[in-house]
Amino acid sequence: MATWTENVEEKENNLLICSICLETFKTQKYLPSLHSFCKLCIYTYIQSFVARENINNGFKCPICRKFVTMGRDCSNSDCWADELPNNHLIISMIELKAIQRLEKLCNACELNSVNQKAVSWCTICLEARCSSCENCHRKFKMTSRHKIMTLNEVQADQKSAISGLITCDDHSGEFVEIYCLNHSKPCCVVCVTMKHRECRNVAIIEEAAEVIKESKQTTEFLQLILHWKNVLKKSFEDTEKNISAVAIIGNNLVSEIESLKKSVNEHIDRLERAVKDELTIRKEERVTELTDRGTKISSLKSIVDNWHQIYRTCIHDGSEIHCLIEINKMILMKEKMASEIQTATSHFDEKSFRFERNQIVKYLQENVRSLGFINIVNSKPSTGLRLEPLCDSLTDFI
């Protein structure tokens, strides 16, 4: 039977790897598309993007190329990376991965630049402790009742180990205690007091997360993600096939044009170049159009793939709270995603070319001003997939 460590290595390893430096996240940050990066990596990328594009209100995600609007709180791009939120699920998974490899050091000792091997884990603080720091932790009145597990116990029951306090993204130092059902947002006490005091539908976060993994909405959302993946995969394949077909047809038309040239004089040479130029322009225009479409579909596919990976990690290895928070992040964006997928994968006319030969070419010198015209042939491919079976019925989790 596979151990939890093996499952992490095989299933979630990519989720813990920065797409820029290709290493396990150091200080992790994520974008609205839910793609995650090391803080230093995304900072360096932002500086490069802003300098190259001369843009001062945001940047594009390095993976899906979606634009991230920034600068509301700080117009200086130097601080944008600091404004990005942390993904608590990924942070917890990285911590547990280190524990599984017996590489975890005492978090308290690290603050004093001391490398001391950890022996236990506080499920409330979500921090590792050496034996000395564990003893101190148990003696403090505020932390004396915290549940502490040995690292061996953590290895055997990782879900209990990551079910501790989650810090608020909006208020540093505050912990998430409440879940606003009206806005599908986790809240600390300050959030509830300042932004959600008029909300009537709120719950203690542990109660809100009790049945999230087994809920009908969770299952339906997985089906929607898988459906999106199929739609995007099929549309991307159709686009690639059409790009290849356009290139082949274009080359065939070049041969046809050249065979016609053999039967005419010097005057036809000039007309040949003209129609070849037209063909090249039309072909390049269509290939560019199809390539842009393919890029858009690939961008959406990368987001849906990432959602699927986050979903699996939540269900298999995340806590109920993590699952509630992460899945609802995606739920909040599902309508926009469905719209973008609908736009990207519908209204697609498969285009081809046809060369119409001039029937009076025998009177070339007197009458013909061109060899023919390049026309676009439109046809709608059948994807065999419906886009909206689940999207309209899928509701919030609570």
Rounded distance, CA 177 to CA 164, Å?
Answer: 11
**How many residues appear in the chain?**
398
DSSP string, 359-390: TTGGGHHHH-S-SEEEEEEEE-------S-TT
Rounded distance, CA 164 to CA 166, Å?
Answer: 7
Instruction: Name the nearest CA neighbour of 79 among 106, 46, 116.
Output: 46
- Does residue 33 contact residue 5 with C-beta atoms inside 8 Å? no
Compute the Cα dihedral for 315, 205, 160, 216 and give only its sign: negative
pLDDT value at residue 8? 40
Name the 3-class secondary structure at 242: helix
The CA-atom distances, in angstroms, between 389 and each of 328, 341, 355, 396 are 20, 13, 41, 16
- Does residue 89 contact residue 116 with C-beta atoms inside 8 Å? no
The CA-atom distances, in angstroms, between 26 and each of 87, 141, 173, 309, 392 are 12, 32, 20, 20, 39
- pTM of the shown model: 0.50
Host H or E run for residue 288: helix 266-317
Name the 3-class secondary structure at 134: helix
Rounded distance, CA 206 to CA 259, Å?
Answer: 76
Q: Which residues contact 103 (CB under 8 A, 6 or more apart)?
A: none
Instruction: Name the nearest CA neighbour of 89 among 151, 159, 171.
Output: 159
Distance of CA 298 to the CA centre of its chain: 11
148-150, strands of its sheet edge to edge:
127-129, 120-122, 148-150
Please name the residue that has the structure tokens 């590489």: 103
pLDDT value at residue 302? 92
Residue 112 sits at the vertex; the CA angle it makes with 151 and 169, to the nearest 5 degrees, is 70
Instruction: Name the nearest CA neighbour of 61 among 74, 76, 80, 79.
Output: 80
What do you get for the CA distance between the two ends of the chain, in Å? 35
Burial class (CB in 10 A: 0-12, 13-18, 19+), 323: buried
Per-residue pLDDT of the chain (398 residues; tens, 9 = 90+): 444 344 445 445 677 888 888 887 777 888 888 888 988 899 989 999 988 888 888 899 998 888 988 877 677 888 888 888 887 777 777 766 666 665 678 888 988 888 888 888 887 777 888 999 988 888 888 788 777 888 777 777 655 555 556 778 778 667 788 889 888 888 988 888 888 888 888 888 878 887 777 788 888 888 899 999 998 999 898 889 999 988 898 888 888 888 877 776 677 677 778 888 888 888 888 888 888 888 999 999 999 999 999 888 888 888 888 888 888 888 899 899 999 898 888 877 777 888 887 776 656 556 667 777 778 888 776 655 555 544 544 444 44
Please name the residue that has the structure tokens 């999230």: 212
pLDDT value at residue 112? 87
